[in-house]
């Protein structure tokens, strides 16, 4: 399992704690430092069954300053997330051909 994590985020830390309590030690990707590639994000979105725009953190300052009101393609939104990884909703747990956004954190348990 792969866990896209931001250690500064309380929800992300809480989801990771829940996984560890269940004995799960996922591969942790600190996506702010290890920014996913375009192909990786496409793959995660496919596993989530989401459009790129639906994975954006629209309350982030950078979103409001640079992207609010824009109508971009999925590919362009993915490029925006690569340029500004803070825009990626977190946490995300990926297991085989499925993924979930841990909002609320308990959602990650759906993949166990």
Q: Which residues are catalytic?
A: 9
Strand 2-5 and strand 98-101: the pairing is unpaired
Give Cβ neighbours of residue 55 (< 8 Å, ≥ 6 apart): 44, 45, 48, 77, 81, 88, 89, 101
């Amino acid at each position: 399992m792969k866990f896209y994590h931001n250690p500064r985020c309380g929800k992300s830390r809480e989801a990771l704690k829940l996984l560890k309590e269940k004995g799960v030690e996922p591969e942790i990707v600190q996506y702010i430092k290890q920014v996913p590639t375009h192909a990786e994000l496409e793959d995660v979105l496919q596993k989530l069954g989401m459009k790129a725009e639906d994975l954006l953190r629209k309350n982030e300052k950078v979103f409001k300053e640079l992207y609010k009101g824009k109508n971009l393609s999925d590919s362009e939104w993915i490029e925006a997330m690569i340029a500004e990884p803070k825009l990626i909703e977190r946490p995300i747990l990926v297991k085989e051909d499925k993924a979930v956004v841990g909002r609320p954190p308990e959602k990650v348990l759906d993949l166990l």
